[in-house]
Amino acid sequence: MELNREHFRAIIYYNFQRQLSQQECLAELLSVFGNEAPHQSTISRWYGEFKRGRVSLCDDSRVSAIKTAVTQENVDAVRKLIVEDRHVTYREIEASLKISKTSIQKMLHEELGVRKLLRKINPKRRIILHQDNASSHTAQKTRKYLTEENVELLDHPPYSPDLSPNDLFTLPKIKNRLRGQRFQSLEETVDAFKNAVLDLPANEWNKCFENWFERMQMCINLRGEYWCRQRSLWDQEWNSIVFSDESRFCLGMHDGRARVRRRRGERRNPQFFVERHVHHTVGVMVWGAIAYGSRSPLIFIRGNMNAQRYIHEVLEPHLLPYLDTLADPTFQQHNARPHVARVTIDFFQHNDVTLLPWPPRSPDLSPIEHVWNMMVLREELVVAWNEIPQEDIDHLIRSMLRRVGECVAHQGASTHY
């Protein structure tokens, strides 16, 4: 006897009533009927029909089956489910209303006019970039590119490396992790830096930004007086600062403009004429550094200073050996272009030189300016430099507490120093 589809459906229904699993039902049919047994998908489909309460084993026409389920009552029920949850799935509707997927599709598309929309959500990107005011960062071409890429810039105040989270917080942490390591190639160095960045715990990243926010807020609250306010209580801390500067000493008359006061009608009087050189007077440029209890050698500089000469003629041969004689020094320099050039900053970072951020246009805060005043009337500069009593230099270092306090009291204006 040849079995038709209804016979197999009866066997499947019998196994369903026996509470056999679909795999057990399939295994039993294969053991008896072999290749004539129904496919796994057929068993799965009829198990689903029986779970929904179907008892008929006959083939109902597709149209009549759909029409039977597509009633106004079911349409209203589907509409209610969609209104309550716009993300409801076919499976959830099928389980709730005991309606086949085909009927649900017809009600959604033809009766309710609903379409499933799967859209990739791409919110408008908003990036805020913080960078310092290096010429390559502020170039017109750079700004145009960032604008085209929808990158918003966070303005950075000039001469303010202590307001950069990278310079003040992040990079020092990474440098400490790599301290003492030696690398054989650029690639090895880059890999080590990347690994150090990746290994930095999330709480340390967060701490960097928390410190940055606090520093920025402090700057805002102090209205630009943050440098002096932050260091207004320093006392012994100044003993670890190495103050440096360059100065030019003329070997003849001062090369600036000479002014004379005269009455009306005395313009041609030779008594008020002063002969002076047409060109700049011959002079020498010197560099020196002072600290509490010591001083560097006095270095003569020929010609104009640039970043490369500053590194190769001053920092490398003279400053580094001098810093090695001190315990945990911090180096101070003003914001001349050779001092703040990228190659100079890289040199300091490579040699682990800690820098003291210095406010712009503040020569009256540096005690070494008074050392130059002590020497200006001396003919032999090296002798003058070496003969200045160390007690006088130490007294100038100790005056930093008074200098900074006076600067705060004058709200950043000039001091008597």
- Average pLDDT for residues 259-269, to the nearest whole number? 67
Identify the band that residue 116 occupies on the pLDDT scale cut at 50, 70 and 90.
low
What is the rounded CA–CA span in Å between residue 66 and residue 99? 10
Among 44-53, 219-228, 274-283, the least confident range? 274-283
Contact 387, 281 (CB under 8 A): no
Cα dist from 21 to 13, 32, 38, whole Å: 12, 17, 15
**Continuous H helices in 240-362:** 307-309, 320-324, 337-340, 342-350
Rounding to the nearest 10 degrees, give the CA dihedral for residues 209, 211, 214, 218: -120
Tokens 């001190």 identify what position?
Answer: 326
To the nearest 10 degrees (0 to 180), the angle between helices 186-199 and 171-178 is: 120
pLDDT at 325: 92
First to last CA, the chain: 119
Q: Residue 193: is its pLDDT beyond 80?
A: yes
Share of the chain above pLDDT 90, in %: 12
pLDDT at 273: 60
Mean pLDDT comparison of 48-52, 86-90, 141-145, 286-290, highest-scoring range: 286-290
Model pLDDT for residues 296-316, shown as the tens digit of each residue: 988 888 888 899 999 999 999
Superfamily of 237-409 according to CATH: Ribonuclease H-like superfamily/Ribonuclease H (3.30.420.10)
What is the rounded CA–CA span in Å between residue 119 and residue 167? 42
* DSSP state for residue 306 in the 8-state scheme: -
**Continuous H helices in 22-134:** 22-33, 40-51, 62-69, 72-84, 90-97, 101-106
Model pLDDT for residues 52-107, shown as the tens digit of each residue: 888 888 876 544 444 567 788 888 888 888 878 777 888 888 888 888 888 888 88
Q: What are phi and psi of 160, to 5 degrees?
A: -135, 60
What is the rounded CA–CA span in Å between residue 111 and residue 240? 84
pLDDT at 108: 80
Give the tokens for residue 260. 């004379």
Model pLDDT for residues 27-37, shown as the tens digit of each residue: 888 888 888 88
Among 160-164, 166-170, 204-208, 403-407, the least confident range? 160-164
Contact 404, 241 (CB under 8 A): no
Please name the helix (run of DSSP H) or strand (run of DSSP E) that holds residue 390, with its range, or none.
helix 390-398
* DSSP state for residue 159 in the 8-state scheme: T
Contact 200, 380 (CB under 8 A): no
Show me where the domains of the chain are located: 5-111, 237-409
